[in-house]
Amino acid sequence: MIVAFVQTKGGVGKTTLAVNLAVERVKRAGRNVLLVDADEQGTASDFTAIRSERLGAAGFVLLQASGGEVRDQVLKLGPGFDDILIDAGGRDTASLRATLTVADIVVVPFQPRSFDVWTLDKVAALIAEAKALNPRLRAYAVLNCADPQGQDNVEAAEALADNRQIRYLDAPLVRRKAFPNCNAVGLGVLESPQPDRKACKELIDLAEKLFTLTPRSSRR
């Protein structure tokens, strides 16, 4: 399955979700994973470099690509992998648009705050446009940095009820220190020497809901 992490707003957790799910796919699901860093900031690549140095090998293959190269490389290399995760970066770029032409599933991380909820309409417009070229594309919003409990989460989910392009996937990740702490040392939360059980459970729940979605008529 080809899963892209997309949000035109920065700092919402695209890279955090992409790298943690790459680790989850490799470690828990035993999948052969390609992680595509299509963000010029190169954060997923930096994470992978730290990880490879620490562990000897990342466990997944990293590819850096930009613009139309994202599509070309994914089409070329894709058949050799079980799962392809694409970190598409935080702006409306040629890389992001190329990503939307090859993805099966788009994950749109958002925080339960009004500024994030407002940007979902902009992402929905991009998705609608991309569907003309890629009709099998489906988009799911995932709450990240959610509050442990409270009305904001419920309201953020409800804000998507009328969105025709993006559905709400009920697998929120709460704001937890484990995520930045693990990011900084090149590990997924599942691999931490002192695992945060709640963070692990949330990540596994997200992975299970996401990777059991059936792509419309995926190549794989």
> Judged by CB under 5 A, which of 7, 15, 111, 183 binds Mg ion?
15
Q: Does 130 bind ligand ATP (CB under 6 A)?
A: no
The residue with its CB nearest to ligand ATP is 90
d(CA 116, CA 113): 6
Q: Does 111 bind Mg ion (CB under 5 A)?
A: no
Q: How far is the CB of 44 from Mg ion (least distance, A)?
A: 7
Q: Which residues pair with 142 in a beta bridge?
A: 109
* Residue 152: CB atoms within 10 Å: 16
Write out the binding residues for ligand ATP, residues 167-206 only, by CB under 6 A. Answer: 173, 175-176, 179-180, 183
Q: How far is the CB of 148 from ligand ATP (least distance, A)?
A: 11
Closer to ligand ATP by CB, 154 or 184: give it. 184
> Judged by CB under 6 A, which of 2, 15, 83, 207 binds ligand ATP?
15
Q: Does 16 bind ligand ATP (CB under 6 A)?
A: yes
d(CA 114, CA 27): 35
Give the count of residues interacting with ligand ATP (CB under 6 A). 20
Closer to Mg ion by CB, 11 or 148: give it. 11
Binding-site partner at residue 136 among ligand ATP, Mg ion, none, CB < 5 to 8 Å by type: none
Using the rule CB under 6 A, give the single segment among 8-16, 77-85, 119-127, 211-219 that binds ligand ATP: 8-16
Interface contacts to ligand ATP, rule CB under 6 A: 10-16, 39, 41, 43, 89-90, 144-145, 173, 175-176, 179-180, 183
